Amino acid sequence: MVASNLPQSEEQRMGGPETALENPATGERIELRTTAGDSAGNGVAFDYYLRPGGFAVGKIDHVHPRQEERFDVRAGKLGVRIDGDEWTATPGTRFAVLSGTPHTVWNDGPDEMHAVVEIRPALAIETFFETMYGLARDGKTNGMGLPHPLQLAVIANEFRDEFRFGRVPIPLQNALTAAVAPVGRLAGYRARYPRYAASASEDG
């Protein structure tokens, strides 16, 4: 297992439906082990599942500008591309993606893929996942898991430290999203929807 100093109770290690986030567009499912609150913001850890044919949101390279991501593959085959280098990770493979490095993943086999993933520091990555996956569950994304361009601009502007596309210079992305996000907000789009939060009890 990837070495970690993130606190994990036995209940968190087991995961479960109450901590699960699912994206029907991309075939991703996350079951949280350690939240940002558990670790005082040091990081999040979760069981990451990809159904056959599944892929990370966008199906293209992305970047975490201020976060390191670690993978420990437990079952199935995980297709990986890091900074242009493409390969397949099998059970027992552990690897890290440094901050600012373009990468993406997908299911590269006929069975469900399972990996344990850690992202450090946590920043607002949980809310990013909640928003993107929630929009997909509501049918508000395309087949790659991407929402309406104005919605995407609002999300990208809010979560610029957590997620950027890998093929466009980050300063250009920052400038574009800063310019377009106000239009998206005027149109009613938000980066955070209370109804998508894991602890939500009512719509927002």
User: Any idea what the Cα angle at residue 44 is, between residues 125 and 145, rounded to 5°?
Assistant: 40
Domain 10-123 has CATH 3.30.450.20: no
pLDDT band for position 6 (50/70/90)?
A: low
Task: Quote the CA–CA distance of 8 and 38 in Å, as a whole number.
Answer: 8
Average pLDDT, the chain: 91
Question: Over the stretch 110-156, which tens digit does the pLDDT of each residue have?
Answer: 999 999 999 999 999 999 999 999 999 999 999 999 999 999 999 99
SS3 28: strand
Question: In the structure, what pLDDT confidence band is assigned to residue 8 with cuts at 50, 70 and 90?
Answer: very low
Cβ pair 104, 60 in contact under 8 A = yes
Q: Where are the domains of the chain?
A: 10-123, 127-196
pLDDT computed for residue 18 by the predictor: 55
pTM attached to this predicted model: 0.89
pLDDT value, residue 15: 44
**Beta-strand pair 28-34/20-23:** antiparallel
Confidence check: pLDDT of 3 > 70: no
Query: Which pLDDT does position 127 carry in this prediction?
Result: 97
Encode pLDDT of 64-84 as tens digits. 999 999 999 999 999 999 999
